[in-house]
Chains A and B, each alone.
Chain A
Amino acid sequence: MRKETREYKFDWMLWTMFDAGAKIKKGFPKEYSTSLGYMPYYRGVIEPMLATGDPGQKFIECCAAYLDNLVHSREKGFKTAITTFCFSPAILYAMDIVPVCLEILSVMQTLTSKRGTTEHLDFCNEVGYTETSCSSQRGSLGAYLAGNGAEIDMIVTDTPGVCDTNANAFAFAAAYLDKPFFSLDMPPELNGARSDAYHLGDFRALIGFLEKHSGKKLDIDKLRTIMLRIRKQDELVAELEDLARLRPSPLPVTYNFMLHASRFLFAGMPECTACLESMLAVARENAAAGRSGLSSGVEKLRSFWCYIDHYTQNLRLWQMLERNNICYQGNILSRSWAANAPHVKEYGTEAAAYELDLSDLDGMVRSMALLNSRMPMIKSIRGPYDAKNMWLEDTVNLAKLHGADFIVYNGTPGCRNTWGMVKMFARDTEKAGFPTYIMYADAFDDRVESWEATQERFEEFLTVRGLL
């Protein structure tokens, strides 16, 4: 790792960037346009985000507030826990613990930095972590392994049984940094009394762990407040998902990204609610006017991303979709499995959903255990991909619900659990009537395949399959 990279803490650098980004449009237009000139790489994120108006502003503020909590955790009296995107941070917030979400931090860095996270990725390898591991965690984990981030108190994850490379990143970090570690384990079946009991037992043990290492008892009132907000956020997400079904889709192409990022950072917190409310207001307006969310106003194709996006510099994936007039109908991250989500009722998947019971502590803990077991990826990548409520069923149903014209898989070469079956999965989605494209890029590392090559191949797929 270069000396210059170590000069400032990695998360502090991100905080200053997003904090400045949250303020940049509050001055005069001339100040704004002049300032953009000083951020040749970061402007590719800031400009399109802020161009969405209030939702983009709220989203950047959301990111800045999250990073502020992280870098000033000690001053604010918070503990910190390295965690993963598919672990609901709500329980952490209920116990004054700041979630240090590795994947989101990696995305923040890859989007805004010319070199992306390459130095952190490589640092992990230097200290013994395999280069074949997932770049989503490595991209920011390297900074913490190098001691170039906020102080870490503990490590929690929930991916054993779902994703080895993810779980392994956290186990490695715990051993390397010698920090307390807890992992929620996921049985292969989502439903049934055995799985429910396992999820609950595990979640109770998690609370015990968090209480021990935070030095605080779980505050029932605080948890209830947070869960009430989650309920509200689920309603907002459900309406956004429902509106996305309209033709043309009234959702701007970056909404999906903003939706899941704000939930991963701030589920159960007011910052997330504000962001979602703002997005919904615009989406409602567009819907009422019969307007497409695409900036061209013309919707030619509807894409469904069955796994994750491509996050390297400057939102280039979303720019490409915009350029081709393709709207974005969601990915595995953006789903809510709250009982009120439109797809839950439409496809009779109530058993795979969660409801929040706020009646007493036991009900709340049970609900949180259920919610966590229904987080993106946690819910649907645990068992065989073609089993009930798993990845294939979710993908085909959601692609139908959103009127997708095609499906795209993108991940990272570190994703053992999907690369183990994605060829067969794609064969099945093709059989279900959806042209399906498997991207061989790395969502977090352009060195694996350049963006130019990725884009060319993607557009070639659209051409060859007669979609464009």
Chain B
Amino acid sequence: MKEEFREASAVLNNKYVKKWKDGGGRVVGYTCSYVPDEIFYAAGILPYRVRGFGAEAMTIGDTYFGPFICSLPKCMLQLAGQGDFDFLDGVIITPGCDSMRRLDECWRKMGDDAGAHMPAFHFHFGVPHKFTDYSITWFIEETRRLIEEVERHFHVTITNEKLAEAIRVHNKTRLLLERFDAIRSQAGPPISGTDSLAVILAGTTMPRDDYNRLLGELVGGLEKGGDKLNGRARLMLVGSASDDVELVRLIEGDRALVVADNLCFGTRFYSNLVREDGDPVEELAKRSLAHNDCPRMYGEYRERLNRLKEKAEKARVQGVILQNIRFCDLHGSENGLFERDLEKAGIPCMRLEREYGPIVESGRMRMRIDAFLERIG
């Protein structure tokens, strides 16, 4: 069963996407966990988290982006320009960070130049950087605007009933993933951090009903027990977007286990339920925006630090790896603060700056991780 997740997490146009498309289904890509993907479920569209893994060159990315830009959106653009995302019928870009928001213009201009590779539906989804009464009002309106545009473009009707059903289905995923989280962070977990990330990532690239079914079976099975992975250092992985299971594999090697994370492709993606008893659009917007785990939500550092400490304690981690992609100033700087405050709290930390994309510097990273593992014993 883990193979199902591995395939869905490691192949862009995986078999589920192909089957969906073969059945006449439409797929809309999005770049950030602040997009409420319930909207697409309600519209009968497959929401698909755009990623950048597998890019082997940066020629297209570097043509449009400048040099001082995070390699994640560059890899996304590279793949888009190579036609790897041609199965998308739409794409939504958010101002998750400045590098990512400029993917909007880069993708459009690349599409104009190539005369191809630009999905017909394109939407710039504004996400405020704070959680207040007026920013919620604004974001509810923005969410309604997105719904209207999806309805208009795809000739679908997204009713409140459909949204309420989508919320129930997605909450079910979140509850299953919470159970999964408890399993991976238990003493002697039956699953590695590498496989855990694959399981979580698969949820962003396959139909929700299939995912819930597979996840339910996996969680049920793991809860009954399994071969325990003992005798390894327990780590938490924190920082910039990490959607490549190979990075976790490199970190774990045969001496460590990533038993918890605070990544936007990881637990941040599914934390917090959407309330099921209110207006569905309002509740979706509130859940998305209240989700302050990303440093793009300025001024919330203390809350994030406290959550991190809680997670570290709950998962009994022995060390935290604070990684950031080069030019990711938001995570990079916050990692500096985390390092100061977590070390003060007695939690060993290691900061690791890296490039996104093919892991070409595995020797350097391995050496640093080994040294950290020696430090924490």
A contact residues vs B (CB 8 Å cutoff) = 127-130, 132-133, 160-161, 163-165, 167-168, 170-172, 174-176, 181-183, 185, 187-189, 194, 197-198, 201-202, 205, 383-386, 413-424, 440
Contacts and interface: CB of A to CB of B under 8 A. Distances in A.
Given A171-B301, A181-B299, A188-B95, A197 B69 contact: no
A182 B332 CA distance: 21
Instruction: Give me the 5 closest cross-chain CB pairs, A-B, nearest first.
Output: A128-B336, A420-B102, A201-B134, A419-B66, A160-B129
A181 B298 CA distance: 9
B323 interface: no
Given A127-B336, A420-B98, A132 B326 contact: yes
Interface of B: 63-70, 73, 95, 97-99, 101-106, 108-109, 124, 126, 128-130, 132-135, 137-138, 141, 295-296, 298-299, 301-302, 324, 326-327, 329-330, 332-337, 339-340
Contacts of B65: 419-421, 423
B102 A185 contact: no
Given A171-B299, A176-B337, A424 B109 contact: yes
A175 B105 contact: no
A424 B141 contact: no
A202 B327 contact: no
30 contacts: A127-B340, A128-B340, A132-B332, A133-B332, A160-B298, A161-B95, A161-B126, A164-B97, A164-B330, A167-B129, A171-B298, A172-B334, A172-B336, A174-B301, A176-B337, A183-B130, A183-B299, A194-B141, A198-B135, A201-B132, A202-B134, A384-B108, A416-B69, A417-B101, A419-B65, A419-B69, A420-B66, A420-B99, A421-B65, A424-B106
A154 B76 CA distance: 39
A160 B130 CA distance: 9
A175 B302 contact: yes
A129 B299 contact: no
Given A175-B302, A202-B134, A419 B97 contact: no
Question: Which of A160, A175, A188, A189 neighbours the largest number of chain B CB atoms within 10 Å of its CB?
Answer: A175
B124 A384 contact: yes
Nearest to B130: A185
A420 B124 CA distance: 16
Given A127-B336, A197-B138, 8 more contacts: A129-B333, A160-B129, A160-B298, A168-B329, A385-B105, A414-B329, A420-B69, A421-B66
A187 B327 contact: no
A128 B104 CA distance: 30
Contacts of B130: 160, 183, 185
A128 B296 CA distance: 17
Given A132-B326, A168-B298, A384-B104, A185 B135 contact: yes
B149 to A, nearest CB: 14
A386 B128 contact: no
Given A172-B337, A188-B124, A420-B98, A130 B301 contact: no
A415 B336 contact: no
Nearest to A386: B105
A385 B104 CA distance: 10
B295 A168 contact: yes
A419 B126 contact: no
A442 to B, nearest CB: 10
Contacts of A187: 126, 128, 138
Given A183-B129, A420-B98, A424-B109, A172 B333 contact: yes
A187 B102 CA distance: 15
A128 B299 contact: no
Contacts of A160: 129-130, 296, 298
